[in-house]
């Protein structure tokens, strides 16, 4: 039967890197609220009683986009998916409770990475403006600086990967999302994986967890 996998971790823990690989390995949908929001950055939220009028404004500030918007994205994506790897959701307890109402999970996996490593990973990340492939200037450099190995597109820095916004994203993570990790831990549903190995080492551990 198709798996329902949740990948939890701080910004930069490697959720996107590993989710893509797990989805390919186990023939699952990669459901990611971050990518969905980046594809709809300028969606008009002015009819909602919210602080900002677009997802872009929340993301550039490092704040969470309102639950109403992300819950809708997840409902639609999960309805279309048989098995999935969910990445970037839930990010607060309300989202975790909503998720438990709409689906069950086979595994909730937490990628554990220290704060200083997270900052280095995020500020050094570069993303292809054409195909979305992700690199790191030091840890996963392209063959030619600034050029995507996959498609030759230009590599750029995400708007929210500046040091100031990264620090705010981490603050928001510790305040809102760490309690979600604790929520799954208290229920005995959390599997913890050391996220500081090489991408191949982390992937091998994740495959073992999913196969178990």
Quick check: 59 binds ligand AP5 (CB under 6 A)?
yes
Is 126 noted as a catalytic residue in this protein? no
Is 15 noted as a catalytic residue in this protein? yes
The stretch near ligand AP5 (CB under 6 A) out of 45-53, 76-84, 98-106, 196-204 is 196-204
Q: Is 6 helix (H, G, I), strand (E, B) or coil?
A: strand
Is 125 noted as a catalytic residue in this protein? yes
- Of positions 23, 62, 128, 193, contacts ligand AP5 by CB under 6 A: 62
Of 155-184, which residues contact ligand AP5 (CB under 6 A)? 160, 169
User: Cα(161)–Cα(60) distance, rounded to whole angstroms?
Assistant: 9
Cβ closest to ligand AP5, residue 80 vs residue 188 = 80
Sign (positive or negative) of CA dihedral 141, 125, 195, 102 = negative
Quick check: 21 binds ligand AP5 (CB under 6 A)?
no
With CA atoms as reference, report the closest residue to 62 among 177, 181, 172: 172
- Of positions 37, 81, 96, 180, contacts ligand AP5 by CB under 6 A: 37
User: Cα(11)–Cα(160) distance, rounded to whole angstroms?
Assistant: 11
For 83, the token pair is: 């098995």
Cβ closest to ligand AP5, residue 65 vs residue 81 = 65
Q: Are 45 and 17 in contact (CB under 8 A)?
A: no
DSSP secondary structure, 92-150, as one string: SHHHHHHHHHH---SEEEEEE--HHHHHHHHHTEEEETTT--EEETTTB--SSTTB-TT
| Number of amino acids touching ligand AP5 (CB under 6 A) | 35
For 193, the token pair is: 């994986």
Cβ closest to ligand AP5, residue 128 vs residue 202 = 202
The stretch near ligand AP5 (CB under 6 A) out of 41-49, 119-127, 148-156, 180-188 is 119-127
User: Cα(1)–Cα(132) distance, rounded to whole angstroms?
Assistant: 30
- Of positions 17, 21, 81, 99, contacts ligand AP5 by CB under 6 A: 17
Task: Give catalytic residue positions.
Answer: 15, 91, 125, 158, 169
- Site residues (CB under 6 A) for ligand AP5? 9, 11-17, 33-34, 37, 58-59, 62-65, 70, 88-89, 91, 95, 121-122, 125, 134-136, 139-140, 160, 169, 198-199, 202
């Amino acid at each position: 039967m198709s798996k329902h996998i949740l990948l939890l971790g701080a910004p930069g823990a490697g959720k996107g890197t590993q989710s893509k690989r797990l989805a390919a390995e186990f023939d699952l949908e990669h459901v990611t609220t971050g990518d969905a929001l980046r594809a709809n950055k300028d969606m008009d939220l002015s009819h909602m009683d919210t602080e900002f009028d677009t997802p872009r404004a929340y993301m550039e500030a490092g704040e969470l986009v309102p639950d109403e918007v992300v819950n809708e994205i997840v409902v639609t994506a999960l309805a279309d998916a048989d098995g999935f790897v969910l990445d970037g959701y839930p990010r607060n307890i309300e989202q975790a409770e909503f998720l438990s109402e709409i689906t069950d999970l086979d595994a909730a996996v937490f990628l554990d990475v220290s704060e200083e490593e997270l900052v280095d990973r995020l500020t050094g990340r570069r993303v292809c403006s054409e195909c979305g492939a992700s690199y790191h200037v030091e840890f996963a450099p392209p063959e030619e600086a600034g050029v995507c190995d996959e498609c030759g597109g230009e590599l750029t820095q995400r708007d929210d990967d500046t040091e100031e916004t990264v620090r705010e994203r981490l603050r928001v993570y510790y305040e809102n999302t760490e309690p979600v990790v604790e929520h799954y831990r208290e229920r005995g549903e959390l599997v913890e994986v050391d996220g500081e190995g090489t991408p191949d080492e982390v992937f091998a551990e994740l495959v073992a967890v999913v196969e178990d």
